Amino acid sequence: MRTDRLAPALRRITGDEKHAPSAHSTLDVLWVLYDRVLRVTPQTIDAPDRDRFLLSKGHGPAAYYAVLAAKGFFPEEWLDDLGGWDSPLGHHPDRVRIPGVEIGTGSLGHGLGLGVGVALGLRAQGYTGTRTFVLLGDAELDEGSNHEAIAYAAATRLPLSAIVVDNQSSTHGWPGGIPARFPNWDVSVVDGHDRDRLELALTPRHDRPNLVVATVEKKGS
């Protein structure tokens, strides 16, 4: 596990203090994805058979930017001007301006449905070894569109992984907790800062969608 490239990138970030807790809660998940799991590099960002990662929790992208910079998708110097008037790094990620970003997000509740569409499209094109990963916040599950995506992914056994960062910020809650919202998915609940457990949970075990609930201390949404 190498964090020497990540720490300088994260220290450079300024200008998004409002969403810092939201961003930091995702840091370990993002690092494990890009360092150990995802089959995508700066050299393969346009390869049709690459894995796809969708940041549905797009209102706190600072940690996402730090990981992408540490992995060489864009220069670390960009981090110095996060949110600047002409910076490619906005407070919501922009797929047109940032290498490696698959979708523009920030309005919560859309990422999982988009992930279903991406996974379906890849399957239709014959890319059976390609997986789609979506990172969500727990409060985002209060958006009803997610439950249509959850049900459809299970019914069609899509190669889709949803990672829900659970910092207990959901307004409504759900009987049985987050796993109960995902019937007929493979489910793992792990410490959101335990990188080895996260890596294991993100490794698919069956031919059906995979949910990883990454629990973190409540500090923000």
- pLDDT tens digits, 4-53: 555 555 555 555 555 565 667 899 999 999 999 999 999 999 999 999 99
For residue 77, give both structure tokens: 């110097």
- Give the integer Cα–Cα distance in Å for 56 and 26: 12
Q: Do the Cβ atoms of 150 and 185 come closer than 8 Å?
A: yes
- What integer pLDDT is reported at residue 200 of this predicted model? 96
- What integer pLDDT is reported at residue 115 of this predicted model? 97
Give kind and range of the element (H or E) at residue 9: helix 6-12
- What integer pLDDT is reported at residue 2 of this predicted model? 46
Domains and CATH numbers, the chain: 6-215 (3.40.50.970)
Q: What is the pTM of this model?
A: 0.89
- What integer pLDDT is reported at residue 220 of this predicted model? 44
User: C-alpha 190: how far from its chain's center?
Assistant: 16
- Give the integer Cα–Cα distance in Å for 22 and 117: 26
What CA–CA distances, in Å, run from 95 to 54, 58, 64, 75?
A: 10, 12, 13, 16
For the chain, list residues with pLDDT below 50.
1-3, 220-221
